[in-house]
Amino acid sequence: MVLKIIIMNDKQKNVLTNIIGIVLLGINVYAFYWRQLDLIDFCVVLCLSLALFLFKGTETKQWLKKALAKFS
């Protein structure tokens, strides 16, 4: 079996993160209304899903590095 490495350009990565962000947002809203998710948990996942949806992949990567650098 040959393992191929898939190389994605920035546009493909952006589309993929947008789809993941929208799916995560949908699951989050479903869990909040029908599974009685706590408000704090809802807000944390909401921020994560919106970050995936709104920012480009390279910008999100830089933003996460900057945020994690403050904690380390």
* Four-residue CA torsion sign, 60, 61, 64, 70: negative
Q: What is the pLDDT of residues 6-47, one digit of tens each?
A: 777 777 777 888 888 888 888 888 888 888 878 888 888 888
Type of residue found at 24: L
In sequence order, the 6+-apart residues with CB closer than 8 A to the CB of 54 are: 21
Please state the domain extents for the chain: 11-71
Indicate the SS3 state at residue 20. Answer: helix
pLDDT attached to residue 2 = 66
User: Measured at the alpha carbon of residue 41, what is the angle toward residues 54 and 62, in degrees to the nearest 5?
Assistant: 35
Closest-CA residue to 17 (of 54, 43, 63): 54
